[in-house]
Amino acid sequence: MAAFDPHAAPERWPGGVERTGSVDDLAATADLLSLHLPLTDGTRGLVDARLLGLMRPGGFLVNVARGELVDRDALLAAVDSGRLTGAAVDVFPVEPPPTDDPLRRHPRIRLSPHVAYLSGTSHRAYVCKPAENVIAWHRTGRPLTPVVDPTR
């Protein structure tokens, strides 16, 4: 398994995960490329025809981050040409995607809503965890699950 994150400090890098030097390096070694990054001016359209062309033939793309990270036309071309075996997407530039969007009917592209985390358990945790943090902070001066800057 490999990953790329230009902001993660070396001492916080997870064991057993190879750290690549660039997105291009990661794409070139990926059988499955899964996106987990924010949409910024620098990441908009990051996954374009050039990057998809770097992936191993038969690779698979998963986008669970932001719809505008991926050039939709380049993704369709890569899947249609057989460069990619397929893709799984739960985020779109326009949500929900228009009914005539080719992604919706492509046989090798799977779509789902961006709500896979929703369940009774996760909904309870969504409410309870912040409350538990507030109570712990009030009692001890420190939350149970503080947000840590990964660059430190």
Neighbour count for residue 69 (Cβ, 10 Å): 20
50 is written with which tokens? Answer: 């050039």
Q: CA 143, CA 137: separation in Å to the nearest integer? A: 5
Active site residues: 66, 95, 114
CA angle 92–60–29, rounded 5-degree value: 120
CA distance 71 to 50: 10
* Helix runs in 55-107, H state only: 72-80
Closest CA to 104 of 136, 151, 72: 72
